[in-house]
Structure 1
Amino acid sequence: MLSKTTISTGGLLLSSLLLTIGRGATLPFMAIYLTRKYGMGVDIVGVAMSVALTVGVVFSLLFGILADRFEKKRYMLLSVLVFIIGFIAIPLVHNAVLVVIFFSLINCAYSVFSTVLKGYFSDTLDPGTKAKIFSLNYTFLNIGWTIGPPLGTMLVIYSIDMPFWMAVCTSTLPLFLIQRFVQPGNVAAPSPDSPAVSWSPSVMLHDRALMWFTLSAFLGSLVGGSFASCISQYLLAVADSDFAQKAVGLVLPVNAAVVVLLQYAVGRRLTPQNLRPLMGLGTICFILGLAGFMVSDTNLVLWGVSVAIFTVGELIYAPGEYMLIDHIAPAGMKSSYFSAQSLGWLGGALNPLVTGVILTTLPAWSLFAILIGAIVLAWLCMLKGMSGRTWDMLSLKSV
């Protein structure tokens, strides 16, 4: 007989997968959608997409912080409902400005759901299970991004609106799953070493460890958050489009395969006492992968090996960053802390812009040298945050 916690966790993981499939089927085609339906230029589309993504991150931060004031199950149901409404509205409004507004709403709702999901897991799961579930959720997210875009590609052949209607369908089932199978989140009683605090955003503003971890997440996201786009831009600058297509066609499947095969096995081994050395190992893998990209030139074998090593760093960093926040967040403010950490996603959003500037002003190889510097800074920021008294006490407690 499965426990209620296991059933709740399974329902939320499946919901996370289905929502990601819907987003993966639509996000890659938003630029095409705006161009075809509204005749928007490439530059205007870029501005519109950046505005929508940035607005989504900022508002998700605000709504994620408020999540700790409400029951998390209801909050997740509300965010999924808004997610669905946004996808229904886009094909129906026939107005470019409204499309951008609803696209922002979709991004906000998805980010809020992801943040509250992590807060729910942090509140309800025991310490030995959290790393496994965080890793499993990250695996499901990657499976969703592997399935979604090809489905969107097939559907857009029939109609530019079809991917949005498919997203409505895949997003409706989570409403049933969460309502039927997920138990209301009950925050575990705080321990003497990590007492609960009164909910207040000012707590986060005075938490220096949170600031260092958020900066680390920003720099880490700058390196790994949009690496596929980064590599595409680099290859178009140093090689012809035919080789760029071949290399990207190799890099993406290798990345997805390594994540799906190894994420859970790697992530489940992360614990507070070994997190520091393992995050160091992840940093080394990032550095080796980036150095490999720098010297791969037109050698597809080197590109494949480099991305596999790079992805191992990603496998460690993804659940590791969640655990860092989980261990410093006071009871009753988990979602608020995860929301603050989500500001780090802006690093991934800035990656294409930074890549373009570097490739047009500096030698192409310097792109990866700068990213190596960024990931080293991310590691140093992480160490700075972990050096605080709060982290040391919690680590000792878990030994």
Structure 2
Amino acid sequence: MLATLRHYPLSVNLLLASALLLTLGRAITLPYLVLFLTSGYGLDVSSVGALIGGALIAGSVLSLYGGYLTDRLSPYGLILGFTGCFIAGFIGMWLTSSLPVFFLFLVLFNFAYSVIDVVAKASFGRLLPDGEQGRVFSLRYTLINIAYAVGPFIGAGLSNLSLHLPFVVSALLGVAFLGVYGLYGDRHVRSVSPGTPAFSFVSVGKVLLKDRRLVCFTFGGILSAVVFGQFTAYLSQYLVLTTDAQRVYSVISTVLAVNAAVVICLQYGVGKHIDSRRLTRWLIAGLALFLAGLVGFSLAQSLTAWALAMLVFTLGEIIVFPAEYMFIDRIAPMHLRGMYYAAQNLSNLGGALGPVVCGLALMYLAPAAMFYVLAAFLVVGGTLYVLGGSMAEKVG
């Protein structure tokens, strides 16, 4: 992996650094928002979930316009500007005592993070040859998971000292990246080639809606993300209903450790072998592993069984994520890459929907049936993935 980083130009490594540093800032603070909001604002757990979920959804939807800006403006200026918004979001959440203002800053932070994510993914396609796509997307996802593995532990230590400290440190990480990118970022990378005709946001939206490959893939991503977007949330819901608090802690700690270890150890090695000419097969394999993992969760009794089910589930994760990015990179016109990647970001809506779906399933069905409801979402989402992939192969 280090050899690959040395092989890439500085502009690519800076984009990879954004994934590591900004995700670390996110991972330091987000897990402790529940504690901060319940103690600082006196909210109950359901209100906190609605507030955080609403901010995540708003940030994902707004990122569509960020994708439009990505196709029109300089990546250098966009990354600097939205990193500034990222920093402002954390500073605002730290300083405000008003809940509505806190929510607006939370939306600003999520919006900024989503747009920088879109800019980075769109820029990889412009800065690297086709054969490097699977490798760089897997490397980026590995760095993101390293940040998510380390961030909560840093956040725990900081929040024990002061509930405001995670916001401060997250903002400082943004400042550090802003300074480095401001000095060394490539000012000359263009979003589109000179002479490309300008399009309005509405006209671009109509183009996206007419691309049936993208529509199928976006809805497939939303439905599938119900399963893998927030898996710790619905596993916690299931365990709270079926076992005691100590068992919940043991199982969640185990599956998180397995997930992080597998992604960090195998993501890059597996991802670099994903072939853009066989993306549909890779996606089917990844979704099959997700399905097997869900069956394993429904049957698990011991910690070993939970760990093995998580191992299989995570193997699906390390295949599907880079394959999704490569699919979008394959079908997106060069001048609309930002909008296509922003459309893919709408899969976050599925992640926000997952705990709601699982809560209803646990309310009205036998607890283990929740996993079979999730399997149904996965099958329908996978069918849309395959449909979109088959259309792309015909066009290709």
Fold shared, TM-score > 0.5 on shorter chain: yes
Q: How far, CA to CA, are the matches of 1:35 and 1:242 in structure 2?
A: 22
The separation in 2 between residues aligned to 1:93 and 1:159, in whole angstroms, is 16
The 8 Å contact of residues 67 and 75 in structure 1, kept in 2 or not, is answered as: yes
Equivalent runs, 1:23-34 vs 2, <5 Å: 23-34=26-37
Q: Any residues of structure 2 matched to 1:65-80 within 5 Å, and which?
A: 65-80=68-83
CA distance in 2, matches of 1:232, 1:370: 16
Q: Is 2:349 aligned against 1:349?
A: no
Contact preservation (8 Å) 2:216, 2:385: yes
Aligned partners of 1:220, 1:178: CA distance in 2, in Å? 34
Residue of structure 1 equivalent to 2:233 = 229
Amino acid at match of 2:216: W
Amino acid across the alignment from 1:283: L
Tell me, in whole angstroms, the C-alpha distance in 2 between the residues paired with 1:379 and 1:128: 25
Distance in 1, matches of 2:225 and 2:362, equals: 19
Which of 109, 113, 127 aligns to 1:110? It is 113
Hey, what's the Cα distance between the residues in 1 that align with 2:393 and 2:179?
A: 39
| Counterpart position of 2:375 | 372
Which shifted more, 4-13 or 303-312? 4-13
Q: Matches of 1:246 and 1:36 in 2, distance apart?
A: 25
Q: Measure how far apart 1:198 and its partner are.
A: 5.8
Q: Report the counterpart of residue 54 of structure 1 in structure 2.
A: 57
Among candidates 377, 386, 389, match of residue 386 of structure 1: 389
CA distance in 2, matches of 1:79, 1:391: 35
Q: Is the 8 A contact 2:121 2:341 kept in 1?
A: yes
Question: Match for 1:334 among 334, 337, 340?
Answer: 337
Contact 2:71–2:191 (Cα < 8 Å) also in 1: no
Cα deviation for residue 393 of structure 1 reads 4.1
Bigger CA drift: 330-339 or 49-58?
Answer: 49-58
- Give distance in 1, aligned partners of 2:50 and 2:304: 36
- Tell me whether 1:299 sits opposite 2:305 in the alignment: no
Q: 1:134 aligns with which of 121, 133, 137?
A: 137
Larger CA deviation: 32-41 vs 129-138: 32-41
82, 85, 89: which one aligns with 1:86: 89
- Counterpart-to-counterpart distance in 2, 1:22 and 1:223: 25
Structure 2 unaligned segments of length 5 or more: list them: none
What displacement does 1:209 show? 0.6
**Are residue 63 (structure 1) and residue 70 (structure 2) matched?**
no
1:367 maps to a residue whose letter is M
Q: What are the ranges of 5 or more consecutive residues in structure 1 without an aligned counterpart?
A: 191-195, 395-399
Letter in 1 for 2:314: T
Q: What per-residue deviation string (whole Å, max 9, x for no partner) do you get for residues 253-282 of structure 1?
A: 000000000001111111222222221111
Match of 1:12 among 11, 15, 18: 15
CA distance in 1, matches of 2:249, 2:44: 24
Aligned-pair CA distance for 1:346: 0.5
Shift of 1:189: 7.3
Bigger mean CA offset, 256-265 vs 123-132 = 123-132
Structure 1: distance between partners of 2:47 and 2:380: 34
SS in 2 for 1:332: helix
Residue 207 of structure 1, aligned match among 206, 211, 235: 211
Quote the Cα distance in structure 1 between the aligned partners of 2:53 and 2:191: 36
Measured at CA, do residues 3 and 37 of structure 1 come closer, stay the same or move farther in structure 2, by a change above 3 Å? Answer: closer
What is the identity percentage for the equivalent residue pairs of Structure 1 and Structure 2?
A: 35
* Counterpart AA for 1:369: Y
Distance apart, 1:182 and its partner CA: 2.9
- Asked if structure 1 preserves the Cα contact closer than 8 Å seen for 2:71 and 2:192, the reply is no
In structure 1, the residue matched to 2:253 is 249
Q: Is the 8 A contact 2:75 2:191 kept in 1?
A: no
Q: Which amino acid aligns with 2:338?
A: S
Task: Work out whether 1:363 is the aligned partner of 2:366.
Answer: yes
Amino acid at match of 1:32: L
**CA–CA separation in structure 2 for the residues paired with 1:307 and 1:149:** 20
Aligned with 1:273: secondary structure? helix
- The answer to whether the 8 Å contact 1:15/1:177 transfers is no
Does the CA-based 8 Å contact 1:80-1:171 persist in structure 2? yes
Aligned twin of 1:312? 315
2:124 to 121, 134, 151: 121
Q: Which amino acid aligns with 1:134?
A: F
User: Normalized against structure 2, the TM-score is what?
Assistant: 0.93
Task: Kindly indicate whether the alpha-carbon contact (under 8 Å) linking 1:285 and 1:309 is maintained by their aligned counterparts in 2.
Answer: yes
Question: CA–CA distance in 1 between the matches of 2:326 and 2:155?
Answer: 33
What letter is aligned with 1:392?
K
Pick from 275, 281, 294: which aligns with 2:285?
281
Gap change, CA 1:5 and 1:302, over 3 Å in 2: closer
Task: Give the deviation of 1:125 after TM superposition.
Answer: 1.2
How far 1:188 sits from its partner (Å)? 8.3
